[in-house]
Every structure is written in structure tokens, then in C-alpha cells.
């Protein structure tokens, strides 16, 4: 997987201080990077002073070589101590701070620790000062603490001096799924069923569970009416999960409801789950031939869109969860068009006319950062949606049916075509089939999109 780059801790001084220490550095990264913006409150007659380093409280066994330039004057240097980081002092330009980056690869290895330092002195003068150093700490211990200080204790870092320690590496605490690091989190994305196995205890995992979306209802040849849009798969995010190292945790990703090629009700999506946590498959859209009781829409994570003959609106949140996993489908009092399916962010819309089906409900966008990090869901103007309802089918001699909701819900079919299916791994629903002319081979619904499970936890 790609390396993560995560801020472990930032220390900004509110008052002068002689030293700064990062304690209990996590050991689940490969490298460390320390970024320092500093200034001393003394000068000893010089605009630049050296900051000393300690690893694990030790300032011994440090050696380093450096190359630098002060204006046009280049120089090289050798160090037998840890004082190789440069800082502005009060003799430098007022209110300026030096900047340096200390990179420490393989800080947990059982070998000697190499490191590099990139120094820039911000003196606002024509004679800019820079220095690059390569150092070695000849000790095999893991680095667990880092201290920065100036040996004369009468010198202090001024208020406003900032130190940020970053961890770089996989940061992973488990196997399973597609793994990516973003911000301060590791994400495991399952687009199909599998197993999640922690390699160490995880105390505060969060789990996003998206069920398979429902399929749309088929268009009718008897009355030329369009079928209802499918309902989105149930959408849930559960926090504060404690997971035990070495345990195999089952992940089930539900399939979307299959396409309907007759005038009957579509097919529900399948549940998704992580261990005992579950979300409910999306409800099916009602069939366009609503004279049959079987053609009514069905309840689900989100409810399917109703046909014009239905006596009740299909409900969402079939699992009875708090907060709700989805919304109900749209209704229709018209005999030729059907409602849109419900989404995880909005109810399905009612059919607006005798020729146009209702729009599907939008998906959930509250977790756009998760979806951006894992490149899942559907991007709508920079915001990521997931689990949307399908659009309802229109009357047979029109091509303007209800659109799918944000997040990939399948809109209804155009004239002489098949409805759009929900996008795979979004839990979005399929569109309802358009009403058919007698013996026509079109008017098929769209199938529901398959579900998704994402598990994330902090890298620290």
C-alpha cells in the first residue's frame, strides 16, 4: 500500500522553554519526520545557533557530515555531537523563525539509526543560510523519545516555536480488503466478501456498512405503465468497535437486486454485514402492471418506489436502527407512472405526472471524506454520495422518466431501452423499467448496485 503521512503530535510553545520532548512515540510506522520552526531568545553574538538532539535521552554516539552555504560562501562540516540542527536567534531579523526538517528512516530497526537534516535560516538577508546534514546515531535501540534543546540552559525557545512529529509508513493494524492511509486513519475497503484480521488490538474502529441496492420494477405491457425505482441498500456507520488481535472477522458484501424483465415487482438487494453488525438490502420497485398484488414495492434499507396501483408506500429502515439506515420510496396515484426509490439521504419522489416517473432519493454525503479517501461512492461536484434510490419508470411513449438520486441510483429507461442499473459497490438502486407497448421487448428495469464495507481506525 501507499505510505501514510500522519501527524503524531504538534507542540507549539505558548511561553519560552528550554527543551521539547516527544515521548512514547508509536512504533507502528517505518519512518519519522520532525518539522521545526524555531527561534532562540539569546544570541551570543550570532544570528544562528545549534539545536541539539537526544534520542531516548542520549546525546552520545552521534556523528554527522554537513554541506552548507552562507550567501556565496560554501562550507563543509563534521560533527561528533548531536548539535546539528540550526535555529535563528534574537540577532536575526525580528520575528523571523528558522525552518528545518529531520528525517529518521527505520527508527524501529535493530540497527544503527541514520538521519538527515535540511536547515534553512530565515534571516531576510541577501546572504541566505542553508545546510544539509547526514547523521548517524550508533545505537541499536528503537527510538521512543526525541528531545530538542540548547546546551546552555539560559537559552530558551521563544513563544511561537513549533514542532510537529509525523509518522510515515503503513500504520496498519490489520489485514483484509484494499488498504489505504489518509489523514490520521487507515481504511480497509471490502468490495466483495472477505475476512478482516487485526494484527494487534484495535480499540476504536469505525465500520461503514452498505447493503446491496434494490432492483427496479419492470414496465407493464397491459397498461403501458412504468415500474417503480428500487430502494437503496441500508447505510450505517458504527463507531467504538473493539477488535481482538488474531481474530478472523467475517465481512459480507451484499449483492444488488437482479433486473426485472417482466411487469412484476423487482428484486430486493442483499444484506451486508461485519461480524454481527448488519445493514438491510434495498427494497424493490413496484411493477408497472400494478393490478397484481405481487407488483407492489417492498420495504428495505430504503423502500422501493410504488406503482400507481399500490395501496401503501414502501418504508425504509427495515432493520429498525437508530439512526435510520434509509428512507421510504416515493408514491404514485397515477396509473401510468411510478415513484422513485428511497435513498440513504432522502426519500424517493412521487411521480409528478402521467408521463414522468418520480426521481430517486439522494444518497448519503455525510461521510464524503471516507469515500474520497477510498475512492468509493459517486463524486457530485466534489462531494461524494453513496446509496441512492433509482428513478421511477415513465409511460411507454415518453422518454423522460425519473432520474436516479445522487450517488449512482439508476434512472428509468428511455424510450425503447433498458433502465440504468445502480453503480457497483455503492448500494444504489436500479431504475424502474419504462412502460411497454404490446409485445415489446424493452421496458426492463435496472439492477441494484452491490454493497460495500469499509473499516477504519486511527493510525496511533
Task: Give the tens place of pLDDT for each residue, 270-285.
Answer: 999 999 999 999 999 9
Distance between CA atoms of 119 and 137, rounded to whole angstroms?
A: 19
Q: Is the dihedral angle over the CA atoms 387, 346, 298, 292 positive or is it negative? A: negative
Q: Are 190 and 175 in contact (CB under 8 A)?
A: no
Distance between CA atoms of 288 and 111, rounded to whole angstroms?
A: 72
145 burial (CB, 10 Å; 0-12 / 13-18 / 19+) is middle
- Percent share of the chain, pLDDT over 90: 57
Confidence (pLDDT) at 413: 59
Q: Who contacts 149 (Cβ-Cβ below 8 Å, separation ≥6)? A: 18, 19, 20, 51, 52, 54
Lowest mean per-residue pLDDT among 18-27, 80-89, 225-234: 80-89
Q: In what order do the strands lie in the sheet with 235-243?
A: 178-182, 185-190, 452-458, 202-210, 235-243
Evaluate if residue 318 carries a pLDDT over 50.
yes
Query: 254 by DSSP, 3-state: which?
Result: coil
Lowest mean per-residue pLDDT among 85-94, 233-242, 252-261: 85-94
Nine-digit cell at 371?
A: 469515500
Distance between CA atoms of 233 and 21, rounded to whole angstroms?
A: 49
Paired with 121 in beta bridges are 129
Q: In what order do the strands lie in the sheet with 98-105?
A: 4-12, 162-169, 31-38, 98-105, 113-121, 129-137, 62-70, 73-79
What architecture (CATH level 2) is domain 4-169?
Sandwich (2.60)
What is the mean predicted confidence (pLDDT) over 325-329?
Answer: 97
Confidence (pLDDT) at 2: 46
Q: Are 282 and 233 in contact (CB under 8 A)?
A: yes
State if pTM tops 0.75: no
Q: Who contacts 373 (Cβ-Cβ below 8 Å, separation ≥6)? A: 180, 182, 183, 185, 187
Evaluate if residue 203 carries a pLDDT over 50.
yes
Closest CA to 112 of 138, 134, 135: 138
Strand 31-38 to 178-182 pairing: unpaired
More confident: 322 or 53: 322
Domain layout of the chain by residue ranges: 4-169, 172-460
Confidence (pLDDT) at 439: 66
Q: Who contacts 239 (Cβ-Cβ below 8 Å, separation ≥6)? A: 204, 206
Nine-digit cell at 260?
A: 426485472
List, in sequence order, every beta strand (DSSP E) within 71-199: 73-79, 85-88, 98-105, 113-121, 129-137, 146-149, 162-169, 174-175, 178-182, 185-190, 194-198
More confident: 153 or 293: 153
More confident: 412 or 457: 457
Q: pLDDT confidence of 399, banded at 50, 70, 90?
A: low
Evaluate if residue 300 carries a pLDDT over 90.
yes
Task: Give the CA dihedral 421, 426, 427, 428, nearest 10 degrees.
Answer: -40
Distance between CA atoms of 225 and 434, rounded to whole angstroms?
A: 7
- Residue-wise pLDDT tens digits, 402-428: 899 987 777 665 666 789 999 999 999
Dihedrals phi, psi of 392, to nearest 5 degrees: -80, 150
What is the mean predicted confidence (pLDDT) over 251-257?
Answer: 98
Give me the numbers of helices (H) and strands (E) for the chain, helices first please: 1, 24
Q: What is the DSSP string of 292-325?
A: SGGGS---SSSPPPP-TT-SSPPPS-TT--SS-S
Evaluate if residue 1 carries a pLDDT over 50.
no
Mean pLDDT of the chain: 89
More confident: 295 or 63: 63
183 burial (CB, 10 Å; 0-12 / 13-18 / 19+) is middle
Evaluate if residue 183 carries a pLDDT over 80.
no
Confidence (pLDDT) at 127: 67
Confidence (pLDDT) at 210: 98
Evaluate if residue 256 carries a pLDDT over 90.
yes
- Residue-wise pLDDT tens digits, 208-243: 999 999 999 998 887 788 899 999 999 999 999 999
Amino acid at each position: 500500500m501507499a505510505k501514510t503521512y500522519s501527524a503524531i503530535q504538534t507542540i507549539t510553545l505558548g511561553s519560552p522553554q528550554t527543551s521539547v520532548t516527544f515521548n512514547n512515540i508509536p512504533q507502528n510506522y517505518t519512518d519519522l519526520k520532525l518539522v521545526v520552526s524555531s527561534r532562540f531568545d539569546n544570541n551570543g553574538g550570532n544570528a544562528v545557533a545549534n539545536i541539539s538532539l537526544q534520542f531516548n535521552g542520549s546525546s552520545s554516539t552521534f556523528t554527522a557530515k554537513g554541506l552548507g552555504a552562507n550567501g556565496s560562501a560554501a562550507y563543509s562540516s563534521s560533527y561528533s555531537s548531536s548539535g546539528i540542527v540550526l535555529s535563528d536567534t534574537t540577532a536575526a531579523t525580528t520575528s523571523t523563525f528558522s525552518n528545518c526538517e529531520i528525517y529518521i528512516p527505520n527508527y524501529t530497526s535493530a540497527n544503527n539509526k541514520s538521519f538527515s537534516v535540511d536547515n534553512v535560516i530565515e534571516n531576510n538577508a541577501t546572504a541566505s543560510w542553508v545546510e544539509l546534514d547526514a547523521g548517524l546515531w550508533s545505537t541499536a535501540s528503537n527510538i521512543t523519545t526525541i528531545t530538542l534543546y540548547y546546551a546552555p540552559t539560559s537559552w530558551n525557545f521563544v513563544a511561537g516555536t513549533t514542532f510537529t512529529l509525523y509518522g510515515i509508513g503503513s500504520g496498519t493494524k490489520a489485514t483484509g480488503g484494499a488498504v489505504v492511509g489518509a489523514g490520521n486513519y487507515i481504511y480497509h475497503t471490502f468490495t466483495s466478501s472477505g475476512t478482516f484480521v487485526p494484527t494487534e488490538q484495535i480499540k476504536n474502529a469505525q465500520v461503514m456498512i452498505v447493503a446491496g441496492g434494490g432492483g427496479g420494477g419492470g414496465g407493464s405491457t397491459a397498461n403501458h405503465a412504468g415500474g417503480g425505482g428500487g430502494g437503496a441498500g441500508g447505510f450505517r456507520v458504527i463507531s467504538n468497535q473493539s477488535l481482538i488481535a488474531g481474530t478472523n472477522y467475517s465481512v459480507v458484501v451484499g449483492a444488488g437486486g437482479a433486473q426485472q424483465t417482466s411487469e412484476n415487482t423487482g428484486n430486493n438487494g442483499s444484506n451486508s454485514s461485519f461480524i454481527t453488525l448488519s445493514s438491510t438490502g434495498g427494497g424493490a420497485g413496484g411493477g408497472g402492471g400494478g393490478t397484481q398484488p405481487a407488483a407492489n414495492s417492498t420495504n428495505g434499507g430504503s423502500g422501493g418506489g410504488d406503482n400507481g396501483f399500490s395501496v401503501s408506500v414502501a418504508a425504509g429502515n427495515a432493520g429498525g436502527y437508530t439512526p435510520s439506515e434509509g428512507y421510504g420510496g416515493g408514491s404514485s396515484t397515477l396509473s401510468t407512472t411510478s415513484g422513485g426509490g428511497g435513498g440513504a439521504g432522502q426519500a424517493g419522489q412521487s411521480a409528478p405526472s402521467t408521463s414522468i416517473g418520480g426521481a430517486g432519493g439522494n444518497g448519503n454525503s455525510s461521510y464524503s471524506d471516507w469515500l474520497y479517501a477510498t475512492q468509493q461512492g459517486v463524486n457530485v461536484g466534489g462531494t461524494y454520495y453513496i446509496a441512492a434510490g433509482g428513478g421511477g419508470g415513465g409511460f411507454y411513449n415518453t422518454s423522460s422518466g425519473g432520474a436516479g438520486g445522487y450517488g449512482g441510483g439508476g434512472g428509468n429507461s428511455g424510450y425503447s431501452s433498458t433502465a440504468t442499473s445502480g453503480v457497483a459497490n455503492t448500494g444504489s438502486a436500479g431504475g424502474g423499467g419504462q412502460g411497454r407497448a404490446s409485445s415489446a421487448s424493452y421496458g426492463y428495469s435496472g439492477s441494484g448496485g452491490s454493497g460495500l464495507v469499509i473499516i477504519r481506525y486511527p493510525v496511533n
